Amino acid sequence: MRLVHSFAAGQWIAPGPGARAIESAITGEVIAQAGNDALDVQAMRAFARDRGTVALQAMTFHDRARMLKALALYLWEHRQVLYDLSFDTGATQSDHLIDIDGGIGTMLVFASKGRREMPDSRIYIDGPPEQLSRTGQFQGQHICTPLQGVALHINAFNFPVWGMLEKLAPTLLAGMPAIIKPATATSYVTEACVRLMLDSGLLPDGALQLIAGGTGDLLDHLDCQDVVTFTGSAQTAKQLRATPNVLNSAVRFTAEQDSLNASVLGPDAVQGTPEFDLFVTEALREMTAKAGQKCTAIRRILTPSTQVDALITALRAGLSKVIVGNPRETGTDMGPLVSSSQKMDVLQKAAQIGTEAERVFGDPETFSMADDQAAFLPPMLFHCANPDAAHAVHDVEAFGPVSTVMPYNDMDHAAALLNRGKGSLVASVITRDGDVARALAMASAPFHGRLYFNNRDSMAEATGHGAPLPHMVHGGPGRAGGGEELGGVRAALHYMQRTAVQGSPDILSAITGKWTPGATEHVDKPHPFTRPFDDLTIGDTLHTPSRTVTLDDIETFANFTGDTFYAHMDHAAAAANPFFPGRVAHGYLLLSFAAGLFVQPDPGPVLANTGLDNLRFMKPVEPGDSIKVRLTVKAKTPRNDDYGEVRWHVALTNQNDEAVAEYELLTMNEY
């Protein structure tokens, strides 16, 4: 018997009063127990805040991203332990790839995004500064800072590893500690994964704790600095959301709950096209992966009425080849559901669907593995001929290998049926017709967190209807819970507070660590290109002498580059253009002259110019005008052990001090 421990305030705590038995999905035997009503959940919260928050928030985003990468690589090295345990949850080896490899991969994506898309600091800057006054001496900037409490992750049974890591990675990246509360049924796998992470020694104290079993009165003690992210049934979500303290203290509460996801066979994707076959492949995979226990699985299959028979025939042929069996055996395509009670729940929901749809594949009564104890079920396909009059097919989520085919007449009808899910995590559309895609996107995007389009052009590389990707938002409106997870850096922002900061450019620069136009310039130092990365400070500025731009310069540049656009070569044609007074200098000539003015030519700490962002040409330069440059260190980001990136703010002005061009220049500089 496996004893699933909690990890509370630095101690592993064995099951105790109120512990629940956990059965093997394969045999129905009790294999573990978890839960301890005596767990001191308030001490856990205090430990997270006093130790975890403090340690994590002393780190920068890059420090935390590096920690996530190391953690993910450690888990990858030790993943066999998790595979071995997971079979008893009913998962096959290919299900492990979704849950375990997918979870580790998700963590790696957040590690990479944290390094590439977040600053090496403790404040995230959200968008550009807003000029709030005439001269720019009073500006605004949105910033995000990590909340100072703890994130309580209450997770569903179906993905004991991915379900934890997809929330934990952005939480830690943001700088918040987490208390994980996995669903009891599969908590032994989550516990093993938490043990690995703690054993790795990579996490600061208090960053990660585990509750195996109930959460006690923890929700009664959370406040506005804590976050609850819930995944599971709509009923539990409703109950937890309504906890008086959660409402009174405005505790952030995100929910991922039931979802009647649909997939649409496009009107062009008729039998005989690659799209038809692709649709069948995707539908079969979604019905059987994780035995259909996926929040994103396809529950409703929408097809043009002309294709109903062909589609049902193809799906039945595919389902008849699915080998249901012991997930440990190679060759098994689909394992059992997580428990016999989940099996009973699915059978009951399938019976409800069966009141308004005909079952066209999969009879649980005659299913040969229908052992009362084990949790095996066959995949079950229904056909609902009149989906407009039906309710259960749109409302009842049988969280298992159950799906219903239903016909639609035209795109408006397809969209109306899609939206009968009352808010879903994902809908897919298999079509090559851009008009169909656009019509459904317009009509159904507001009802969905994700729309997945696939056809012969993308199918070799497409990631699958049911796969939430760390880069893209996962969550959905309405019935799906109204929550949002993943989505790249957005996911970390759910654990942070966005604050509008207003003040002078110097104050904003001091807060953000980034130079804001109008802030103090440090001009009395040697040329910034002669000073290594570490010697540069934000606001270091070079003002160049001016250079007059002649007609000869313009013609030489035009003939040399081949850019003889009329605005540079033909006075009358240029003057007829609303933007130009007559012949003007090329924008790229101005950039080249700017470089000529600010560059220090000798070998030195500047290794390379790696790019240029946010370029704007504001005023044309005519022959005889002169330009000068202000070059200012705006931000610095270490990249590796040898060099870091310097972001320079570059402003070109003319002889009247009018802005001519502005951009940000990126260089790599030696330390």
Q: Which residues contribute to the site for ligand NDP (CB under 6 A)?
A: 154-158, 181-185, 215, 231-233, 236, 240, 256-259, 295, 397, 399
Of the candidates 295, 397, 484, 485, the residue annotated as catalytic is 295
Is 224 catalytic? The answer is no
Q: Which tokens hold the place of 220?
A: 């009664």
Q: Which tokens hold the place of 268?
A: 């062009």
CB 586 within 8 A of CB 568: yes
3-class secondary structure, 538: coil
At 536, the amino acid letter reads L
* Pairing status of strand 547-548 against strand 643-654: unpaired
CB 665 within 8 A of CB 650: yes
Instruction: Please tell me the distance from the alpha carbon of residue 89 to that of residue 22, in angstroms, as a whole number.
Output: 10
Instruction: Please tell me the distance from the alpha carbon of residue 486 to that of residue 488, in angstroms, as a whole number.
Output: 6
3-class secondary structure, 358: strand
Least distance (Å) between residue 157 CB and ligand NDP: 4
Least distance (Å) between residue 627 CB and ligand NDP: 57
Least distance (Å) between residue 350 CB and ligand NDP: 12
Helix or strand run (H / E) with residue 450: strand 448-454
Question: If you search the block for the tokens 């979802």, which residue do you land on?
Answer: 259
Q: Which tokens hold the place of 396?
A: 């009842």
What residues have CB less than 8 Å from 348, skipping those under 6 apart?
Answer: none
Least distance (Å) between residue 240 CB and ligand NDP: 6
Least distance (Å) between residue 16 CB and ligand NDP: 15
CB 241 within 8 A of CB 256: no
| Closest CB to ligand NDP among residues 7, 533 | 7
Of the candidates 23, 166, 191, 256, the residue annotated as catalytic is 256
Least distance (Å) between residue 212 CB and ligand NDP: 8
Least distance (Å) between residue 604 CB and ligand NDP: 54
Q: Name which of 384, 454, 457, 387 is nearest 415 in CA terms.
A: 387
| Closest CB to ligand NDP among residues 222, 308 | 222
What residues have CB less than 8 Å from 497, skipping those under 6 apart?
Answer: 144, 145, 146, 147
* Pairing status of strand 626-638 against strand 547-548: antiparallel
Q: How far apart are the first and last CA of the chain?
A: 56
Least distance (Å) between residue 294 CB and ligand NDP: 8
| Closest CB to ligand NDP among residues 146, 483 | 483
Question: If you search the block for the tokens 């399938």, which residue do you land on?
Answer: 350
User: What does DSSP assign to residue 546?
Assistant: P
User: What does DSSP assign to residue 470?
Assistant: T
**Phi, psi (rounded to 5 degrees) for 117:** -115, -5
Per the DSSP assignment, residues forming a β-bridge with 152 are: 179, 228
| Closest CB to ligand NDP among residues 223, 268 | 223
**Phi, psi (rounded to 5 degrees) for 22:** -120, 130
Least distance (Å) between residue 70 CB and ligand NDP: 28
| Closest CB to ligand NDP among residues 183, 574 | 183
Degrees to nearest 5, angle at CA 169 with 166 and 173 = 150
Three-state DSSP string of 184-246: HHHHHHHHHHHHHHHHCCCCCCCCEEECCCCCCCHHHHCCCCCEEEEECCHHHHHHHHCCHHH
Q: Which tokens hold the place of 587?
A: 């924008």
Q: Which tokens hold the place of 585?
A: 């200098």
Least distance (Å) between residue 495 CB and ligand NDP: 19
Q: State the number of CA atoms in the 13 A half-sphere of 643 facing the CB.
A: 15
The residue of the chain with the least Cβ separation from ligand NDP equals 232
Is 256 catalytic? The answer is yes
Q: Provide the CA 255 distance to its chain's centre, in angstroms.
A: 15
At 4, the amino acid letter reads V
What residues have CB less than 8 Å from 559, skipping those under 6 apart?
Answer: none
- Residues marked active site are found at 256, 295
